[in-house]
Structure 1
């Protein structure tokens, strides 16, 4: 059974657990590193969760933390961004990613956004397939190098006035 929680600073320990797992397992996929966060104090974690405009979502699978995602407003009017998405390996294939996207998309639409945008590392086929299944399409013709000069990201976007998924879940 999937359960969704919108997190606040009081949930920092749950967020920390899953976020550190994400940064450890898939360091290539995030702008932050494990080293940036492993020694962060409680207030830093709380501040991240309580940042203005952030919607931090945790999905539990049978009562255990299974994945996280954050929706944030962008500098572009009407556009929100999906960031920090991660599904724990044991929870993959159980609809956790779809549910995270649905929750962030619904919150972005409710806040007045017409588009949800994200970046995904080139070669991350599983994530790319998840996003495509949920109606995202590529919006950048050729990805720019990542901050380390090696990683490449592609930008994908989805209109928020369309059905959540292009195929049934």
Structure 2
């Protein structure tokens, strides 16, 4: 798949974020700890506030959203965490997940992080395989049944470090 890129959403992109998030919740209702009905009722202000954390959107040149991921770091002392990761069904297998994860990791490293965390639903073997392939390891910390905590640390052989040190 070509003709797409990854960008960071701004406050003005709140309607795009809303549309993508609601599509995520319809596509995988048990994966995100929320519901379509709950989030469909959010105000414009809530959606705008959600862009205060870096939200990376993969979209085609014509504006069709292909996937999204948020790099959440509520406290500078905490490790950043990739949350709300989703790739549209028609775009899976096209490198979108890799690009979103790479964008999150690059931002985290640029912001001084030495580790990036994420959670994955164990009943999603495709996601588990993707994150493992991208260098994430299982660690302790999942609080929800069926969910595992994973972490990634930059190293000389990681994709992010290769891109920075050709």
Which residue of the partner structure matches residue 27 of structure 2?
25
Between the aligned partners of 2:72 and 2:42, the Cα distance in structure 1 is 22
Which residue of the partner structure matches residue 150 of structure 2?
156
Per the alignment, in what secondary structure is the counterpart of residue 4 of structure 1? strand
Moved more, 14-23 or 76-85: 76-85
Between the aligned partners of 1:88 and 1:20, the Cα distance in structure 2 is 12
Which residue of the partner structure matches residue 93 of structure 1?
93
Moved over 3 A (4+): 74-78
Residue 58 (str. 1) matches residue 57 (str. 2): yes
Q: Relative to 1, partners in 2 of residues 1:75 and 1:47: Cα closer, same or farther, differing over 3 Å?
A: closer
Between the aligned partners of 1:111 and 1:61, the Cα distance in structure 2 is 27
Between the aligned partners of 2:74 and 2:49, the Cα distance in structure 1 is 19
Instruction: Structure 2: state its 5+ residue gaps.
Output: 161-166
| Offset, 1:61 | 3.2
Between the aligned partners of 1:29 and 1:116, the Cα distance in structure 2 is 20
Per the alignment, in what secondary structure is the counterpart of residue 103 of structure 2? helix
Q: Is the 8 A contact 1:58 1:100 kept in 2?
A: yes
Which residue of the partner structure matches residue 164 of structure 2?
none
Instruction: Structure 1: state its 5+ residue gaps.
Output: none
Between the aligned partners of 1:29 and 1:128, the Cα distance in structure 2 is 13
| Offset, 1:76 | 7.8
Q: Is the 8 A contact 1:78 1:114 kept in 2?
A: no
Between the aligned partners of 1:132 and 1:13, the Cα distance in structure 2 is 32
Between the aligned partners of 1:26 and 1:11, the Cα distance in structure 2 is 23
Q: Is the 8 A contact 1:68 1:85 kept in 2?
A: yes
Instruction: State TM-score, norm by structure 1.
Output: 0.85
Which residue of the partner structure matches residue 80 of structure 1?
80
RMSD: 1.9
Q: Which of residues 5, 8, 26 is equivalent to 2:7? A: 5
Instruction: State TM-score, norm by structure 2.
Output: 0.86
